């Protein structure tokens, strides 16, 4: 069984991931379909937040590895439900750009 602290840490890490996704959505929406603006702003975001993004991924893997398979499955399901609408909005906005695959490749650096 995972300790309550680990569950709280998992929730905190997931909230931080959602925060980053919302920032990405903001960047994309305010680029108004302009590839150069979106790519430049995403690059700035990645550069500014690189260490924080890496730490969040690393800590997330550690916390998830401490969960039982059932806890991992349950947490993952809840996490996916929380980010679903933001991810759908990002997907919709990305498709307004002239080169969606290029934007999606850049987004993989964030996730």
Handedness of CA 73, 78, 83, 87 (dihedral sign): positive
**Two structure tokens written together for 84:** 């679903």
Which helix H or strand E contains 2, and what residues bound it?
none
Q: How far apart are CA 86 and CA 80, in angstroms?
A: 10
pLDDT at 81 over 70: yes
Distance between CA atoms of 102 and 99, rounded to whole angstroms? 6
Residues 21-32: tens digit of each pLDDT: 999 999 999 999
List the structure tokens of 79.
Answer: 């996490």
Contact between residue 30 and residue 96 where contact means Cβ atoms under 8 Å apart? no
Distance of CA 32 to the CA centre of its chain: 21
Q: What is the pLDDT of residues 44-61, one digit of tens each?
A: 999 999 999 999 999 999
């Amino acid at each position: 069984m995972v300790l309550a602290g680990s569950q709280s840490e998992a929730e905190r890490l997931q909230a931080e991931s959602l925060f980053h996704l919302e920032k990405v959505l903001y960047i994309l929406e305010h680029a108004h379909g302009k590839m150069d603006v979106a790519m430049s702003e995403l690059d700035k975001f990645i550069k500014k937040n690189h260490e924080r993004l890496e730490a969040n991924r690393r800590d997330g893997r550690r916390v998830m590895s401490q969960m039982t398979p059932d806890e991992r499955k349950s947490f993952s399901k809840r996490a996916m439900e929380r980010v679903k609408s933001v991810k759908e909005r990002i997907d919709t906005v990305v498709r307004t750009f002239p080169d969606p695959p290029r934007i999606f490749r850049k987004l993989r650096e964030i996730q």
